[in-house]
Structure 1
Amino acid sequence: MSVEALFPELAPYRARTTRLHPRPGRPGARDSHVGGPMLWPADEPWPLCHEPHRRETEGYAPDEIRSARVAGEWPQSRAWPRAQPSGGHGPAPFVGLAQLFRRDIPALACGPDGTDLVQLFRCPFTHGPHLERRYHLRWRRAVQAEHLLATPPEVPLLRWEHELPEPCVLHPEEVDTYPWAEGDTLPASLIARIDAWDDAQVAEHGPDAPSYQYDLSIPPGWRVGGYPSWASTGPMTIDCTSCGTPMALLLTAEGYEMDGGSHSWAPLEDRNPLLRGKASIRGGVSVAQPTRLRFGRDRDLHVFVCPAEPGHAPRWVLA
């Protein structure tokens, strides 16, 4: 279905995004990946979160999580070992979530001083009464690292099983995207036409009817560039805290690559051609939730960077 054939006014808003399509595999430290080993120099300190953390009393051992996944089982929760500091004591090593090379993803924004590799980390613990998360972004040159860190530090237990990413290889695919149609993201008259079209589709096709927001504008899953989705929060203005410049979307991380509301984005090889709608999706956890990660209450994590000065602090938005 051609979006611009339905709504020609969207042509000036067209933007490319790169869907990463993570799938469980064995990426190396010099590959783009989610959950694999980081390209990290052996003589460079691993990033630590020094903020106060919520004290933990139990959790899941990383090695036991890995073994349970191989066996198709659920890991056993354990009490926090008395000999080890819990989340409430001392700095915690960040968990490496993903790294992306521009050679694999040409749409990836340039980092400070022309760096061409970006690495995303998350603190394994929560912060404050609202259980907030802390993220860390590291830019580097891919050719600089020769002697790599063999085993990064990790906490003895993770509070939730989904804190540990499953190593995934990537299959980049560029697609066109269009703005989330709400508020002032598009002209009011165009949003009204889109809403009317959505209503007509539901009346004609029922619950599996296509919709602009979930089927035509923004794909689900991990992606680089393009437009952010605003399903949980509504559109937000994200400006650089250092210079006030409107920030650009660097990447989006999401726990699910497809669900009932976005089944039309499922790759053809993951569909049953004899079925329609969400019933046609097949492949199980390795296709629908390959990274095993979750962000908030199954939201999208949008990472924004300053286009005027890449060295300015990024911003993190759960939407």
Structure 2
Amino acid sequence: MTRTTPARPVDVEEVFPGLAAYRGTTTRLHPRRGRPGVGDSHIGGPMLWPADEPWPTCGEAHGPVTHGYVPDEIRRAREIGVADPGADGARAVERHAVSQAPARAEKPTPTSTPTSTGDEGAVPFVALAQLFRRDVPDLAAGPDGEDMVQLFRCPLPHGPHLERRYHLRWRRADAESADRMLSTPPELPLLPWEAELPEPCVTHPEQVITYPWAEDDTLPAALTARIDAWDDAQEAAHGRDAPCYQSDLSIPPGWRVGGFPSWASTGPMTVDCATCAAPMRLLLTAEGYETDGGTHNWMPLEERDLALEGTTRAGFGLSVVVPTRLRFGRDRDLHVFVCPADGGHPPRWVLS
């Protein structure tokens, strides 16, 4: 099923003609739970990864994980509809298994397991996403013209600030053969959080119009001032549900490729290449939530009736609100930046 973003509640270029010069596009990925294959664009699905090529690993020091979640138990809990495979979730898994499938409940296993996985050896990265240019209009080419990009994350935090490590790999799709692909990638036996394991999702790419974040020098000062004044006037006249430039008119929520970064948590940041100091370009944005109360009107037309059936304004069910089951920081956006001057320079990862 396609996903179609509704028309914006206000024609933003009619209100602010100066924005036309800054108009851009972004491709919303609209990930939804499914069964993607190795040759598909997806979030959390199987990677097109040669069997004779080492799987990416994080070789930095990690503290031991003494309590966490076994990946297969997370998958089982999700399969039967348990939201949290922790201690309470485990009991729900058992109750459901007993009532729905007695044969499977003979040896119920809790999903919060007092096991230990230490810091011995390298930790395998978790595959987060795989995207093909043929599917995603705004996906830039790789350093040597590659047309597929793969994103990974170390499942363990680093240092006192719980920093994360990511890995980006570019490939040429026509150079790979599915019959020589790795069938089962290595996996950490215990994950510290349930949100470290992505739910396999198919994508429904949709290119939409987008505009820059309006703060500091992301737009001319006079234009930003007019936007701020308009926002204030709208709220004064229509209340807090009135359209707002940042939430309703400029940048859509959720996973998206290209376009402009959102800076809701940090404020605008300068992101330059660490190798050549060139201003970097946004490759993609990963976000845990596809929608919330402040971005409700971005909900695709095909799912709006479903949205209205929720118990709260944004409570449409996990398959729509958090389809990938991933989190980035404290529910922030992960922006992946690349160097436009030389694609071989290291990318940068910014949480905002």
1:234 to 253, 259, 267: 267
Correspondence for 1:121: 152
Name 2:164's counterpart in structure 1.
133
RMSD: 1.6
Q: Is the 8 A contact 1:270 1:283 kept in 2?
A: no
1:1-319 paired onto structure 2 within 5 Å: 1-73=10-82, 74-75=84-85, 76-81=111-116, 85-86=117-118, 88-146=119-177, 147-272=180-305, 283-319=316-352
Structure 1-normalised TM-score?
A: 0.95
Say if 1:303 and 1:316, in contact at 8 Å, map to a contact too.
yes
Contact 2:32 2:202 in 1 (8 A): yes
1:274, distance to aligned residue in structure 2 (A): 11
Q: Does the 8 A contact of 1:22 with 1:171 survive in 2?
A: yes
Deviates more, 1:205-214 or 1:95-104: 205-214
Q: How many residues align?
A: 313
| Helix, strand or coil at the partner of 1:304 | strand
Deviations 1:54-84 (A, max 9, x none): 3221110000000000111132211124xxx
Question: What's the CA shift for 1:282?
Answer: 6.2
The 4+ residue runs of structure 1 with deviation greater than 4 A are: 278-282
Q: Write the distance in 2 (CA, Å) between the matches of 1:62 and 1:210.
A: 41
Identity of aligned residues (%): 70
CA contact (8 A) 2:31 2:203 kept: yes
Q: Distance in 2 between matches of 1:279 and 1:126?
A: 33
- 1:247/1:306 contact within 8 Å kept: yes
CA gap of 1:156–1:279, structure 2 versus 1, over 3 A, is closer
* Paired letter, 1:78: T
Query: 1:279 Cα deviation (Å)?
Result: 6.0
1:240–1:306 Cα contact (<8 Å) kept? yes
Unaligned runs of 5+ in 2: 1-9, 86-110
1:18/1:225 contact within 8 Å kept: yes
CA-CA distance at 1:113 after TM superposition: 1.1
Structure 1 residues 296 and 280, CA, compared in 2 at 3 Å: closer, same or farther? closer
C-alpha displacement at 1:272, in angstroms?
Answer: 3.8
The whole-number CA distance in structure 2 between the counterparts of 1:274 and 1:318 is: 28
> Counterparts of 1:187 and 1:155 in 2: how far apart (Å)?
48
- CA radius of gyration, larger in: 2
Give the Cα separation in 2 of the matches to 1:273 and 1:105.
26
Cα distance in 2, alignment partners of residues 94 and 284 from structure 1 = 28
- Report the alpha carbon displacement of residue 106 of structure 1 after superposing the two structures with TM: 2.5
CA distance in 2 between counterparts of 1:194 and 1:150 reads 51
71-80 or 229-238: bigger deviation: 71-80
CA distance in 1, matches of 2:313, 2:162: 36
Q: Which amino acid aligns with 1:55?
A: P
Cα displacement (A) at 1:301: 0.1
2: CA distance, partners of 1:179 / 1:224 = 14
1:224-270 deviations in Å (ceiling 9; x for gaps) = 00000000110011111111110000000000011111111111222
- Residue 172 to residue 274, structure 1, CA distance change in 2 (3 Å): closer
Query: Over residues 263-316 of structure 1, what are the superposed CA-to-partner deviations in whole Å (9 max), with x where a residue is unaligned?
Result: 1111122224997xx966563110111000000000000000001111110000
Preserved CA contact (<8 Å) 2:306 2:316? no
Q: Partners in 2 of 1:36 and 1:159 — Cα distance?
A: 20
Please give the secondary structure, in 2, of the residue aligned with 1:271. Answer: helix
TM-score by length of 2: 0.86
